[in-house]
Structure 1
Amino acid sequence: MFQDSPIYDRLVAERGDIPTQTRREAERVTRELEYVMRPLQSFGAPAPAPERQASPGAGWQRAALPPPGHRPY
């Protein structure tokens, strides 16, 4: 994006290539999360049977409004 900019080149020389470092760190965290989210598969256990597909919007939902008379902490 800024590779042809002398200002960017000077900043990279002084501070390091922060966007590249950030991207690499984000990729590493993504790989770790993928590993953690599949704990049974990572230990060689058979994967659980797929559950039936839930309809969109099913599952946990936050209440739109607090109950009447509710006061925040």
Structure 2
Amino acid sequence: MAVQLSRSDFQRLIRIVQNLPDFANVRDRRRLVAGALEGIDQANIILARLDLDGTPMGVAVEVVRFLAQFGQVAYG
């Protein structure tokens, strides 16, 4: 089930993610996302479907949008 984000929450998340020090390049982005999804059964599926190459802002939009559409991956 998709997660519904308000426009302001979506934009706030984009700003936060794109400015993370570990979001500067593809290798670090992959490590960051993999670490955030550690222990989640769908982690490999999510990582395989994400395109982490591009500008920090563009990739942040892609990641937040994808994860919101993917929905909840764990309870709690």
**Is TM-score (shorter-chain normalized) higher than 0.5?**
no
Higher percent of residues as helix? 2
* The structure with more radius of gyration: 1
Structure with greater contact order relative to length (CA < 8 Å, sep ≥ 6)? 2
Provide TM-score, normalisation by structure 2: 0.24
Provide TM-score, normalisation by structure 1: 0.25
